[in-house]
Amino acid sequence: MEAIHVHGGVSLQGSVRIHGSKNAALPILAATILTKDESIISNCPRISDVYQMLQLLNALGCKVCWEGNGIRVDAGNVTQSKMPTEAITGMRSSLFLMGALLGRNREVVMEYPGGCVIGKRPIDLHLKALEQMGAVFEEKEGRICGKAPEGLHGAEIYWNISSVGATENIILAAVTAQGKTKIHGAAREPEVEHLCRYLLACGGDIEGVGTDCLCISGGKALRGTHYTVPADRIVAGTYVLACLAAGGCVLLEEAPAQQMTSVLELASSMGAEYQKAANGLYVQAPERLQGVRELITLPYPDFPTDLQSVALTAMTGADGECLIEETIFENRFRVVEPLREMGADIRQLDAARVIVRGPTRLEGREVEAVELRGGAALVVAGLIAEGETVVRGCRYIDRGYENICRDLRELGARIYSV
């Protein structure tokens, strides 16, 4: 997919199924190498990041194949500890394999992980915690080389900064380490909880699931299992905000509404009505979108950084002035300039804050996505703009949305990809 073409001005109506969670599937797939059995991971999204993770697992010696909407992973013969460069540098989530490989093979060799350009995203938290557990790292020819000659051991880990990736990486290392590992300041995101629940189903011993203090008793043999990935709360949130921006009424089938409290509170503040139901989440946009005075991104359960760009786009059509503050990643506002080109009234105060005034009339333009969530935000901007919007750089969008054009067409949008 080279570009997405959107003809705006159509309100959204109908229903669409929310696919499996990217941020839950990737660490769970990494965790499959901790067993020497087969695991079946159902409801995996068919997105580029998942395909790259499968490429990595295959390179390490796993046998992987799709079966319907799930993936069968046979991790009985994981002998390699070095991963192919192109898959690592294109995907931040390859970092999960560091803790898993140190636990399984006592060594790992990998490039520095890549992904979207949304901030520095240092890996210090990962490395320092793994060093506390007995790992030793050095850099050779631009690669991270880690070893745990005596195997990993439990440790008491304290974090003042909540990091989803670091929490998941240490969980993966700790379930095979000898002794107990306690993580103070663990991230509480639902994706962390699902990784823990997968490992519990494999025979792991983890206490405090869903809290910011996790206690993992390692050293137990893990077995393969069948686990179902939950629906993607970020994709669901994207479509909630798209409905607010474009207007209309939608049913988001299987949307995990219980994980979306902050998004639904924002939607309500902007005048929307919603209803949780057994088959998903109903959302009704107001006739006139109301602005909010302030929106701040914070770790779960507060408003997610992954939806900040889409919320910013929706605010361009809302009454009033809103201060948006980004506290997680310093480069999340790269979507501001293309939105301005489309007619948005946005003033950037500094690297972490912008003020958006609305309502403004957006006009279709040719714009470039430079990261995943910003790309989705530009697609949403196209839904509300006059004329045609062409969004290029779609490889970023493919990393987290199975088929954003198909989904939005099911809701009545005039959108196609070429």
Q: Just list the catalytic residues.
A: 116
Q: Do the beta carbons of residue 167 and residue 192 sit within 8 Å?
A: yes
| Cα–Cα nearest to 63, from 204, 175, 224, 209 | 224
Rounded Cα–Cα distance for residues 178 and 103 (Å): 10
Rounded Cα–Cα distance for residues 291 and 321 (Å): 7
Residue 106, helix vs strand vs coil? coil
Task: Provide CB contacts within 8 A for 310, sequence distance 6+.
Answer: 237, 238, 241, 242, 373, 376, 377, 380
Q: Do the beta carbons of residue 322 and residue 356 sit within 8 Å?
A: yes
The one-letter amino acid code at 312 reads L
The one-letter amino acid code at 70 reads G
* 391 phi/psi in degrees, rounded to 5: -105, 115
| Residue with tokens 């629906």, as numbered in its chain | 231
| Cα–Cα nearest to 124, from 178, 163, 175, 84 | 163
Strand partners, 334: none
- DSSP letters, 60-86, are HT-EEEEETTEEEEE-TT----B--HH
Tokens of 390: 């062409």
Rounded Cα–Cα distance for residues 285 and 60 (Å): 48
Rounded Cα–Cα distance for residues 363 and 179 (Å): 60
Task: Provide CB contacts within 8 A for 211, sequence distance 6+.
Answer: 186, 188
Q: Do the beta carbons of residue 129 and residue 170 sit within 8 Å?
A: yes
Q: Do the beta carbons of residue 29 and residue 41 sit within 8 Å?
A: yes
